[in-house]
A and B are shown apart, each in its own frame.
Chain A
Amino acid sequence: MGDLPNLLKRLIQHKVVFVVVGGYAAVAHGCSLVTLDVDICSDFSVENLMRLQAALADLYPVHRMTPKRLPLRLSPESCQGLENLYLDTDLGQLDCLGSVLGIGDFTAVQKRSVPIRLPWGRCRILSLEALIEAKQAMDRPRDKEAILQLSAIQEKHQAPKDRL
């Protein structure tokens, strides 16, 4: 439980089309916070959702928000109309979002993402600037520290090397 890099590795290896958003993206940008889940914004096409299901197949994925924690059993028919998936797996929690508040749908999120290189391949994460915008749009008290950290990191990137 809690092996989030392995969760990401599976998504990459199964060619799931996604962008890492939320707290895990903040960690990748340099935040010192600890998050318990991976949030991704993904393409909710049938093909992509079936790839997602294949990536998680042996991890006993369940719908975390349903009272009976129903197993993830997607079919081309049941994929229609899905907007978000809140999953729990043997490797940790994975939230799949169809859009990000303050940024927009998957296409908009993808446009404002940057590539990162990981030991198992490349994936995309929401850019620092867009992540700050998204966290500000959510306006949650618990995001205050993340916004402060991300803004400081952004400033550090923009400042000449001899300052700060």
Chain B
Amino acid sequence: MKRIPRQTVKSAWEQAREYGIDMSLLVANLRKTPAERLQQHSRALETVLLLREGMKKYHG
């Protein structure tokens, strides 16, 4: 009797990793409280907005 190969279902973690998501960032985030995550996001957003402003000035 022929054996039918078992289909491997990838975990959500594996699928995200394969998509290119940096899973170490998620691991680091999960060690934080929701409040700490929002504070960290706020600092990141501030940087994004500063960079945008800088690019606007550069491109005129």
Contact = CB atoms under 8 A, between A and B. Distances in A.
Interface of A: 1-5, 8, 24, 27-32, 34-36, 116-119, 125, 144-145, 148-149, 151-156, 164
Nearest to B44: A34
A128 B49 CA distance: 28
A148 B57 CA distance: 35
Contact of A2 (B17, B35, B45): B45
B55 to A, nearest CB: 15
B4 interface: no
A153 B35 CA distance: 17
Residue of A8, A36, A144 contacting most chain B CB atoms (<10 Å): A36
Contacts of B30: 30, 153, 156
B12 A4 contact: no
A160 B49 CA distance: 39
18 contacts: A28-B38, A32-B22, A32-B29, A34-B44, A117-B34, A148-B15, A148-B21, A149-B16, A149-B26, A152-B12, A152-B21, A152-B23, A153-B26, A155-B11, A155-B13, A156-B13, A156-B30, A164-B13
B22 A116 contact: no
A32 B26 contact: yes
Chain B interface size, under 10 / 10 to 19 / 20 to 34 / 35 or more: 20 to 34
A117 B46 CA distance: 23
Contact of A28 (B22, B37, B44): B37
Contacts of A148: 12, 15-16, 19, 21
Contacts of B33: 117
A152 B2 CA distance: 35
B39 A5 contact: yes
Nearest to A1: B49
- Please give me the 3 A-B residue pairs with the lowest Cβ-Cβ distance, nearest first: A151-B12, A32-B25, A30-B29
Nearest to B31: A30
Contacts of A151: 12, 15-16
